[in-house]
């Protein structure tokens, strides 16, 4: 999730937050603790004090619609949504009538709180809030937890919207579909699948210059659910950029998200949140009774509506539980000394076709069980690991990137496919946050190799192909 305050901006934001206006906040959707779940904040622009009931109705309409659409509806249990009732002095937004496609629409100025205006970049329908600093100040002054996305609802019945940092829509009849499209941009960094102009071409989840269906980033979906390799156009740059579908919500209002965009939204959810909300026991538990069973529980989990979570419990690397929220261990079966219990959670949704997904996004809790003649002492910690390795196949080098929720002991080793260790790449304590390392393999012969990872007590491996 996005951090509310960075260290470098702390003093600046503290001053601005103190000066920012306080507004009422209303719950639109609640799944759980704001500090654990993904929070969507809806801010109105161009709503007067007398129009706040309308603002709540408009906000609820688009939020309800968003979570009626797959994959948002599949992961609705991961989200909260709140409306911040921002009051503008005048009703409506701005239209300077500076775009060439305004037609007969008149110009008008209404002094909306965040300055939302049509005609941005010479496109009439492109409506954008012009004061992003004020948006940040209002959010920080009125919502104390982290947030996943801000959505601006502009009080005008004219058609329009935009993506970017803040998803934005109007109240026109198509606004729920516009919100679903713009959230694809703002939340999941999806590209438009219509031709928006040469300046918008870039490598994204659903946009690429690669045309080989065996190498394209959505290769696992090619031939399924009408996913293919489709040109954006037949002339100029558009003829050398490709999209996965010809009837996707990121191209047209009305269709569902294509499989590639659906996967992109889910993977963003996986990157942003840990589905383990709470567990027991926590750190420092001591059990003196020699006859007492040791109970380990995942007391609260975020689960997809159709639960696709895969839960594995391992005691000293031996599976003792599968797809259950708790296990019991008879302490009399444990020898004196240290034992490690690890529960690992991955998502096996059939909406995903990601290579090695089980080791791309995983959440863990590790309990260290220290047994002695005096009793049993338990310590625990949780971690969320997001991982990527690219390019693969490669010629001379590849890059490893991962992100950790907690400081972890990390070792990375490269093996030949028959199990001979070639080199140790990493073996150290790594702080929470992002890790990146470029690995040179020019000296290796062409073929397949095995890269093994150990992050605390979680182990996984991936095959890397040298061409």
Domain ranges of the chain: 7-186, 198-271, 274-466
Q: Which residues pair with 449 in a beta bridge?
A: 416, 464
Asked whether residue 363 carries a pLDDT value surpassing 50, the answer given is: yes
Is the model's pTM score more than 0.75? yes
Asked whether residue 444 carries a pLDDT value surpassing 80, the answer given is: yes
Closest C-alpha to 342, from 314, 370, 383, 318: 314
What tens digit of pLDDT does each residue of 199-213 get? Answer: 999 999 999 999 999
Output the DSSP codes for 256-285: PPPHHHHHHHHHHHHHH--SEEEEES-TTE
How open is the CA angle 196-199-204, to the nearest 5 degrees? 75
Asked whether residue 4 carries a pLDDT value surpassing 70, the answer given is: no
pLDDT of residue 384: 81
pLDDT of residue 20: 66
Asked whether residue 359 carries a pLDDT value surpassing 60, the answer given is: yes
Asked whether residue 465 carries a pLDDT value surpassing 80, the answer given is: yes
What tens digit of pLDDT does each residue of 124-142 get? Answer: 999 999 999 999 999 999 9
pLDDT of residue 12: 45
- Rounded to an integer, the average pLDDT of 343-369 is 90
And the tokens for 110?
Answer: 């209404």
Cβ burial of 215 (10 Å; 0-12, 13-18, 19+) is exposed
Other CB atoms within 10 A of residue 9 CB: 11
- Rounded to an integer, the average pLDDT of 290-299 is 87
What tens digit of pLDDT does each residue of 246-274 get? Answer: 999 999 999 999 999 999 999 999 999 99
End-to-end CA distance of the chain: 37
To the nearest whole percent, how much of the chain has pLDDT over 70?
95
| Alpha carbon distances (Å) from 192 to 211, 350, 407 | 18, 24, 38
Q: What's the CATH code, domain 7-186? A: 3.40.390.10
Where b means 16+ CB within 10 Å and e means fewer, 23-34 reads beebebbebbeb
Which of 241-245, 281-285, 286-290, 460-464 has the least mean pLDDT? 286-290
Q: Are 313 and 322 in contact (CB under 8 A)?
A: yes
Most confident of 297-301, 338-342, 356-360: 297-301
In whole angstroms, what is the distance from residue 45 CA to residue 115 CA?
8
Asked whether residue 327 carries a pLDDT value surpassing 70, the answer given is: yes
Q: Supply the angle between the helices 132-142 and 10-19 in degrees, to the nearest 10.
A: 80
pLDDT of residue 16: 46
What is the C-alpha R_g of the chain? 25
Which of 51-65, 299-313, 406-420 has the least mean pLDDT? 406-420
- Rounded to an integer, the average pLDDT of 90-115 is 96
In whole angstroms, what is the distance from residue 383 CA to residue 406 CA?
6
Q: What's the CATH code, domain 274-466? A: 2.60.40.2550
The whole-chain average pLDDT of the chain stands at 92
In whole angstroms, what is the distance from residue 447 CA to residue 254 CA?
46
Asked whether residue 175 carries a pLDDT value surpassing 70, the answer given is: yes
Q: How many helices (H) and strands (E) does the chain have?
A: 5, 23
């Amino acid at each position: 999730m996005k951090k509310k305050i960075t260290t470098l901006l702390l003093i600046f934001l503290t001053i601005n937050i103190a000066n920012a206006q306080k507004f009422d906040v209303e719950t639109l959707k609640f799944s759980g603790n704001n500090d654990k779940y993904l929070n969507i904040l809806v801010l109105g622009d161009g709503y007067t004090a007398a129009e706040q009931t309308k603002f709540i109705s408009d906000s609820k309409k688009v939020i309800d619609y968003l979570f009626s659409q797959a994959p948002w509806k599949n992961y609705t249990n991961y989200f909260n949504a709140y409306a911040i009732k921002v009051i503008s002095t005048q009703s409506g937004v701005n239209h300077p009538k500076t775009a060439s496609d305004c037609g007969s629409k008149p110009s008008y100025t209404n002094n909306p709180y965040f300055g939302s205006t049509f005609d941005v970049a010479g496109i009439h329908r492109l409506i954008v809030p012009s004061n992003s600093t004020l948006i940040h100040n209002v959010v920080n002054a009125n919502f104390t937890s982290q947030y996943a996305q801000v959505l601006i609802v502009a009080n005008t019945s004219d058609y329009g919207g935009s993506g970017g940092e803040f998803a934005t829509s109007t109240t026109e009849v198509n606004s729920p579909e516009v919100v679903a499209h713009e959230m694809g941009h703002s939340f999941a960094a999806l590209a438009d699948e219509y031709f928006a102009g040469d300046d918008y071409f870039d490598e994204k989840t659903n946009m690429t210059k690669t045309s080989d269906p065996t190498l394209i980033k959505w290769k696992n979906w090619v031939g399924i659910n009408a996913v293919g390799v489709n040109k954006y156009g037949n002339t100029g740059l558009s003829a050398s950029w490709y999209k996965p579908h010809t009837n996707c919500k990121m191209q047209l209002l009305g269709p569902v998200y294509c499989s590639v965009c659906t996967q992109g939204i889910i993977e963003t959810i996986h990157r942003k949140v840990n589905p383990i909300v709470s567990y027991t026991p926590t750190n420092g538990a001591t059990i003196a009774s020699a006859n007492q069973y040791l109970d380990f529980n995942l007391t609260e989990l975020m689960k997809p509506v159709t639960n696709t979570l895969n839960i594995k419990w391992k005691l000293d690397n031996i599976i003792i539980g599968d797809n259950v929220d708790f296990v019991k261990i008879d302490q009399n079966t444990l020898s004196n000394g240290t034992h490690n219990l690890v529960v690992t959670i991955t998502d096996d949704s059939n909406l995903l076709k990601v290579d090695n997904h089980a080791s791309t996004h995983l959440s863990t809790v590790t309990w260290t069980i220290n047994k002695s003649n005096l009793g049993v002492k338990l310590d625990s910690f949780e971690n969320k690991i997001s991982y990527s390795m690219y390019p693969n196949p490669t010629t001379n080098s590849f890059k490893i990137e991962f992100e950790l929720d907690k400081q972890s002991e990390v070792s990375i080793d490269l093996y030949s496919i028959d199990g001979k260790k070639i080199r140790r790449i990493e073996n150290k304590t790594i702080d929470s946050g992002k890790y990146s390392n470029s690995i040179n393999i020019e000296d290796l012969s062409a073929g397949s190799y095995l890269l093994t990872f150990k992050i605390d007590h979680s182990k996984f491996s991936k095959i890397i192909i040298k061409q």
